[in-house]
């Protein structure tokens, strides 16, 4: 019992000091991690903020994006720092020509491809052959189309621009 009383006597002054702390700055929701990184010798995994939703990976074929069709896209500026460049294509002649003309740029950017309209695994293989060396996955792109205000593809989306 005497040990417990001694422990309480030691902690009461600390609690009183904690109650009198002064808040110097409150940034409301901004992580304080940068201030503490120098104190933590363990590596910290950085978490990238995803400003755009991830599309639904297609579980089967056909993959149909009701909101997206082949056609002209009006380019515009984006403000999405940290966004990995990606592009939307389909199984159509416009996408084939676009991949042929933009392939080197897409390679240089390390852009990931999303096939938003494709009927079968065999056709996906054909689309992938149009873009040698680029990863292209079948996805339903309706949510992306809605959030980005897109109606057509092919299109390249980077942290700073949306362009055909």
What is the per-residue DSSP string for the chain? Answer: -HHHHHHHHHHHHHHHHHHT-------SS---HHHHGGG--S--------SSPPPEEPSSS-B--TT-EES----EE---TTPPPEEEEESSHHHHHHHHHHHHHHHHHT-EEEEEEBS-HHHHHHHHHHTTT--EEEEE-HHHHHHHT--EE-EEE-SSEEE-
Q: Where are the domains positioned within the chain?
A: 56-163
Domain 56-163 has CATH 3.10.20: no
- Stated pTM of the model: 0.66
**Residue 50: per-residue pLDDT:** 46
Q: What is the pLDDT along the chain (164 residues), one digit of tens a residue?
A: 555 545 445 555 555 555 565 666 655 655 555 555 555 444 444 445 445 545 555 568 999 999 999 999 999 999 999 999 999 999 999 999 999 999 999 999 999 999 999 999 999 999 999 998 899 999 999 999 999 999 999 999 999 999 99
Pairing of strands 112-117, 86-90: parallel
pLDDT, position 132: 84
| Per-residue model confidence (pLDDT) at position 163 | 97
């Amino acid at each position: 019992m005497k040990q417990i009383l001694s422990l309480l006597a030691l902690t009461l002054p600390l609690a009183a000091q904690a109650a009198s702390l002064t808040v110097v700055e409150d940034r409301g929701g901004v992580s304080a991690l940068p201030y503490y990184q120098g104190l933590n010798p363990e590596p910290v995994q950085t978490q990238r903020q995803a400003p755009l939703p991830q599309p639904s990976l297609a579980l089967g074929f056909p993959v149909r994006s009701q909101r997206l069709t082949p056609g002209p896209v009006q380019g515009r500026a984006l403000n999405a720092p940290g966004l990995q460049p990606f592009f939307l294509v389909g199984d159509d002649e416009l996408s084939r020509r676009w991949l042929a003309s933009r392939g080197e740029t897409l390679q240089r950017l390390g852009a990931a491809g999303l096939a938003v309209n494709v009927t079968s695994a065999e056709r996906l293989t054909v689309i992938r052959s149009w873009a040698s060396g680029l990863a292209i996955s079948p996805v339903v792109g309706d949510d992306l189309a809605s959030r980005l205000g897109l109606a057509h593809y092919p299109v390249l989306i980077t942290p700073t621009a949306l362009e055909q």
